[in-house]
Amino acid sequence: MSRIVYVNGDYVPEEEARVSVFDRGFLFADAVYEVTTVLGGKLVDFPGHMARLARSLDELDMAHPADDATLLGIHHEMVARNGLTEGLIYLQVTRGAADRDFLYPEAAEPTLVLFTQEKPLVDTPAARAGISVITLPDRRWARRDIKTVQLLYPSMAKMAAKRAGAGDAWMVEDGKVTEGTSNNAWIVTRDGRLVTRDLSPAILAGITRAAVMRYAREAQMTVEERAFTPEEAREAAEAFVTSASTFVLPVVAIDGATLGDGRPGPVAQRLRALYIEESRKAAL
Ligand code: PDD
């Protein structure tokens, strides 16, 4: 069945959706994006995603295509028109279409595109069994705090992980894990502390990361924001990743080293349940 896609003010069947070949998103990856979870037909962490979108746009001197209330209305309309109960809404803003030139065009209208992806997120084989990860050098650009569509290196890294029989890759820079290819990386130390890298241009400030950190602290868990090495991760009691599309996803092996008994650990499972429960309550 054809989806209804949003393009610059219009809701159209996906076959009819069009963007210019001169769009700077296409020519220069001059575009930013957000992925918002839909659970029970409602939006999870929506204000956080819109705040990060605004920041990404500002960092690139890009025009805002609409205010938050309008964007909320468009998201709700996409949920309704596509009958979406569980899945994702992808939103992309580009600087717009202009004759090819490295310099930003003076007058281009931003392009705004949204589409939905229906998929089970709560009950998945990966969540039940956990995933294994490999480590790879982080070869992305140095402004990973901006959520741009420059995703070729993460695609290459995910392909390398797949070829190695792993579920994902954790990227390493200067001897420390930065993050997963499309998620934030966490470990649980043997004395029960949660560790995830501190925010900087080296990583994306995950909206799920922030929510999980808040819920963990409310549940009296200790969270340390600092970088860790692949060696420390391999020695950890547990590990997991967080993102809008995976929530809290247990990691059960790192570079072939099994964590614990090789099954999702109690802390990751508890945080996953907590995150899903709280997200359902707060969803818009
Ligand atoms: N990725 N780090 C990177 C590099 C990411 O691409 C993502 C999200 C995250 C987690 O951010 P959040 O919790 O706000 O989803 C961290 C999305 C899901 C994607 O590209 O599909």
pLDDT in tens, 151-168: 999 999 999 999 999 999
Of the candidates 239, 45, 208, the one whose C-alpha atom is nearest the C-alpha of residue 135 is: 239
The C-alpha torsion from 5 through 11 and 13 to 17, rounded to 10°, is -70
State yes or no: pLDDT of 48 exceeds 90: yes
Name the residue range of residue 238's domain. Answer: 125-282
pTM: 0.97
**Cα–Cα dist 27/103, whole Å:** 12
Of 82, 99, 118, which residue sits at a domain end? 118
Distance of CA 214 to the CA centre of its chain: 18
Summarised one tens digit per residue, pLDDT across range 237-266 is 999 999 999 999 999 999 999 999 999 999
Per-residue model confidence (pLDDT) at position 107:
87
Q: Is 35 helix (H, G, I), strand (E, B) or coil?
A: strand
* Tokens coding 144: 């990973």
Are residues 154 and 262 located together in one domain of the fold? yes
The residue whose CA is least distant from atom 17 of ligand 1 is 182
Are residues 92 and 134 located together in one domain of the fold? no
Output the domain CATH number for residue 138: 3.20.10.10
Q: Is 89 helix (H, G, I), strand (E, B) or coil?
A: strand
Of 118, 134, 157, which residue sits at a domain end? 118
CB 223 within 8 A of CB 217: yes
- Provide DSSP, 118-176: E---SS-HHHHH-EEEEEEE--S-S-TTS-BS--HHHHHHHHHHHHTT-SEEEEEETTE
> In this prediction, what percent of the chain has a pLDDT beyond 70?
100
* Tokens coding 184: 């934030």
Per-residue model confidence (pLDDT) at position 156:
98
Of 118, 136, 171, which residue sits at a domain end? 118
* Tokens coding 3: 């989806």
Per-residue model confidence (pLDDT) at position 13:
98
Number of structural domains the chain divides into: 2
State yes or no: pLDDT of 140 exceeds 80: yes
Identity (one letter) of the amino acid at 284? L
- Tell me what the mean pLDDT of segment 30-38 comes to: 98
Terminus-to-terminus CA distance in the chain, angstroms? 26
Ligand 1 surroundings by CB, under 6 angstroms: 35, 179, 182-184, 204, 206-209, 242-245
The residue whose CA is least distant from atom 16 of ligand 1 is 183
Q: How far is the CA of 263 from the centre of ligand 1 (A)?
A: 24
Nearest atom within ligand 1 for CA of residue 246: 18
Distance of CA 129 to the CA centre of its chain: 21
Q: Report the mean per-residue pLDDT for the chain.
A: 97
Per-residue model confidence (pLDDT) at position 120:
97
Question: Taking the alpha carbons of 242, 146, 153, 15 in that order, is the dihedral positive or negative?
Answer: positive
Per-residue model confidence (pLDDT) at position 280:
96
Are residues 203 and 151 located together in one domain of the fold? yes
Nearest atom within ligand 1 for CA of residue 90: 21
62 pLDDT tier (thresholds 50, 70, 90):
very high
Q: How far is the CA of 99 from the centre of ligand 1 (A)?
A: 31
State yes or no: pLDDT of 102 exceeds 90: yes
